[in-house]
Structure 1
Amino acid sequence: MDIIHYNEKMLPMQDLETIGLASGGQLLLNVDDLKALLSGRRTGLMQLQNLEAENIKIKSMDAKVSLKADENGKINLLIHPVYKKPATPSFLDDNEAQKLEKGEVANYLKTTTDDKGNKKELLVEYDAETREFIVSDTEKILAPDMVNLQFLTAAQKENYRKGKEVTLPDKTTFGFSATDTHGIRANKLALVASILIDGGLTYVVYKGLNMLFNQKRNEVEAAKLSPGYYHAVQDAAESQNSHVPNQMNRTYTRGGSR
């Protein structure tokens, strides 16, 4: 789900300007990358300028960026470069790692134990663009309550958090993906996800979605959206115009260049 963790005023503008992603206090990000940043995800791959680290100066490099708050609440800009060779997590065996790298499987669900003996369920994906394994704590993956105004069952929410595809009666199929800038993939070009927060319904309108893992998509069929989608878009617009507390529409119309 595309719940916004940060607002634009919280962005480290000086750091963004230093690497060429902002200028004169104005962001130079497209709408998808901005949404990814504000939602706590990684942007798409982009060219960064004038990087400095440990007395090393790099004129330009391809990388993704994300935000992370430290213990004091300060928002830091993280840079995810393209690695020559991925660092394999200890809980993956060589066969599993190779299948992820080759794109033979979308993800692996692994159970690990922390230093205190607590079990943790992790979803592991592979980002082929940066050559990096992406690990998500399934407890922190937020599953939508509704998609296209259709309620998800408890089992569907669990499947979503575990990286499995979910199919609705309107033939919309979707799944979580930490490697995707939208955080979600689908067999349709668009969908509306909703979640109940503090008694209000938050709408997230996704457009231009990427296809499901290793699946070919019929673009004509993908553009045929269900009545539920259009009703959800209408509800989202009405909630944006209403003054009901805790009821928000998380759609963005801001453009930009990368």
Structure 2
Amino acid sequence: MKQSISKRINIGITAGDPCGIGPEIILKALAKIDVKDVHFFIIGDYSVFKRVKDRLKYRNIKTPHFAIIRNFNNLPKISKRISLIDLDIITKRKFCMGKAHKVCGYASVEYIKESVNLAKKGIINALVTAPINKKSIHLAGYKWPGHTELMAELTKTKKYAMMFIAGHIKVVLVTTHLPIKEVSNGLRSQDIYEKIRLSHMYLKRYFNIKKPLIGVCGLNPHASDGGVFGDEEEKIILPAARKARKDKINVVGPESAESLFYKMYHKEIDI
């Protein structure tokens, strides 16, 4: 019996920057993906994808067929495997591929806003985001440094973290989108503690790890080697780890990056 759309997994994909690599990556990836009971909603501009699709066709590169959606009231009724929600922002505007442009920055943000609305309405269950151009976004008048901060504001989320996952390797960042020279001044013990706590809760809820073991990385070479290369470990990072241990969270560190990634690779720690 055919599964209804309400029981399928609906994944939203934002197009990213219209003059970037996002639309091409999306089309190439969806041409290779063959999974059952999953529907993909691309949020972008038909004019952009049409141009990319034609260019790939000229190079004999296969691209998938997709339905074009302009009436948002019909979203829950869509039965096609791949649909493009056309926000019709770019239309026939001219811009150079690979160059920062304020219209593309504006479009990028609108794609993200629409995807968050779809998630809030329960139309999509998960979201994949194609690359955006931070300069284009700033040219459009926005000050968000990236996806993470923008989506946190749109969802009114106060406590959040960016996590990278590759197989069993998992990394959570304390600071995001900061120049290297500002990282030390940007470190706060409470922020580190909150990221440890979020990681602990996330591993238990979504990975079913009953007692996660969390490794906390130092900032300086060799985690400062007892204060030889800096004091951030002793003054900022270690207090956060101690506070987490008092809350019965299993924490090791602060340790050097090479030590922790070795342990992660050999599955001695969970994150």
**Normalising to structure 2: TM-score of the pair?**
0.26
Greater percentage in strand = 1
Greater percentage in helix = 2
**Normalising to structure 1: TM-score of the pair?**
0.27
